[in-house]
Amino acid sequence: MNKAFFVLVLMVCLGLAERGSAGEFVVEVTRGQDNAVPIAIVPFAAPGAAAAGAAAAGAADLDVAQIVSNDLARSGRFKAMDRKDMVEEPHAGANISFDDWRRLGNDYIVVGLMSPQGADRYNIAFELFNVLNHQRLLGFQISANRPGLRLASHQIADMIFDKITGIRGAFATRIAYVSVAGSLPNRSYRLIVADADGENPHVVMQSNEPLMSPAWSPDGQSLAYVSFEHRLPTVYVQYLKTGERHVVSAKAGVNQAPAWSPDGKKLALTLSTRDGNLDVYVLDLSTDALTRVTDDPAIDTEPQWSRDGQSLYFTSDRAGGPQIYKVGLQPGDRPRRLTFQGNYNARPRVSPDESQLAFVTQEEGAYRIAVMDLKGRSDVQVLTKGQFDVSPSYAPNGAMIIYASRDRGRGVLALVTPDSRVQERLVSSEGEVQEPAWSPF
């Protein structure tokens, strides 16, 4: 049982990698909220521009208002108005005919100006209005150079999302994922960091051997991951700004599933003992001191930290099949089983406020993403309906879960809200992607 379970866990971690590579993503919203908030994001223009948005968008070669609109629509909570349905394009609150926009079915409107500020720098001023009562809810200016315009666009979307929903936006965050290209024996793997919408990708690491299990440090500056570049699994930590990296665990046997402690000072890891059994350990990054957390003949793997850093969630087959447990880090603490529904529950991921646990469950012979309520009656809800939905990761605001899935025989990234009301896919135009991890704020 243990050996079979280990093979299955390894398959999940590797995402059943096949042919493909990372490229530009196409966002497909497959299910949105029925009560999505109607909003108009009017194209931003430079002062005096004859064609709305032409001067700003043309000068910067980037349509800021469209990125904002795409972000809000992608959340599933907003229904962004199509530009072709806009009868006018005001760029300041004084020019808005609120009754017209209300008749067009909008609850909110965003208007703005984008002005050059010297060579390769732009100032973006925008306003958010409630169409129904004409109230100005938000007014802000943000400055950015050309490379920073996409980030500025996401930040604007974050402010609007926060103001209307009361939830901190996460559009300006990033995702890490693994891209796989080619076929054996000439397969290549790339660890990539991109904006939360899949755009602006940057290759962090490339290898002809598998890369897996990327995990963000709490400050968003580093990634821990597993590389097989020397034929054996090795855990690295890489600083993203410089590309500098170092080995943190290369012990004989298995080194896998790194997870950062909330203070960024430790890593929880899965390591194998001399007899090949897998257990959970905690590595102090400053001293290299290693503390064994679990000690059981079963396979214990896939650790995740509690919010306070005093406990670990993990997967174990000690009850005869993979289930999720929680254990405190004080000497003598004993693991407590959390999942009881179904024969397969693995890969735990804790929501930012630790009110929920996302994990992979088996239903009708398929692997799907489920969530468990940690604050109430431990209710479990299966969120997805794919055949191979794995590797869940929460957005830092807890509003979305990104995961790896299969679409027409290839690996894609997909997103779902914790209530399953909004679902979408990020499909690479060039092929295979897997193992997503969402950054902190």
Q: pLDDT tens digits, the chain, 441 residues: what are they?
A: 444 444 344 444 444 333 334 456 776 766 666 789 999 999 998 654 433 344 444 444 689 999 999 999 999 899 999 999 999 999 999 999 999 999 999 999 999 999 999 888 999 999 999 999 999 999 999 999 999 999 999 999 999 999 999 999 999 999 999 999 888 888 899 999 999 999 999 999 999 999 999 999 999 999 999 999 988 999 999 999 999 999 999 999 999 999 999 999 999 999 998 888 999 999 999 999 999 999 999 999 999 999 999 999 999 999 999 999 999 999 999 999 999 999 999 999 999 999 999 999 999 999 999 999 999 888 999 999 999 999 999 999 999 999 999 988 888 999 999 999 999 988 776 658 999 999 999
- 146: helix, strand or coil: helix
Please tell me the distance from the alpha carbon of residue 393 to that of residue 398, in angstroms, as a whole number: 9
CA gap 197, 336 in Å, rounded: 37
Rounded CA-CA distance 45/304 in Å is 46
Burial class (CB in 10 A: 0-12, 13-18, 19+), 362: middle
- Cβ contact 9:315 at 8 Å: yes
How confident is the model at residue 427, as a pLDDT? Answer: 76
Q: Tell me, what's the pLDDT at 152?
A: 97
Spatial distance between the Cα atoms of 70 and 110, rounded to a whole number of angstroms:
13
- The DSSP code sequence of 134-175 is --EEEEEEEEEEGGGHHHHHHHHHHHHHHHHHSS---TT-EE
Beta-bridged to residue 136, according to DSSP, are 129
> In the prediction, which pLDDT does 429 show?
65
Indicate the pTM of the whole model: 0.90
Q: Are the CB atoms for 131 and 93 separated by under 8 Å? A: no
> How confident is the model at residue 181, as a pLDDT?
87
Give the model's pLDDT for residue 395: 98
- Note the pLDDT of residue 408: 80
pLDDT given at position 388: 96
> Amino acid identity of 149?
L
Write the CA distances from 95 to 131, 139, 140, 381, integer angstroms. Answer: 13, 15, 17, 47
What pLDDT, on a 0 to 100 scale, did the predictor assign at position 92?
95
Interatomic CA distance for residues 405 and 174, integer angstroms: 19
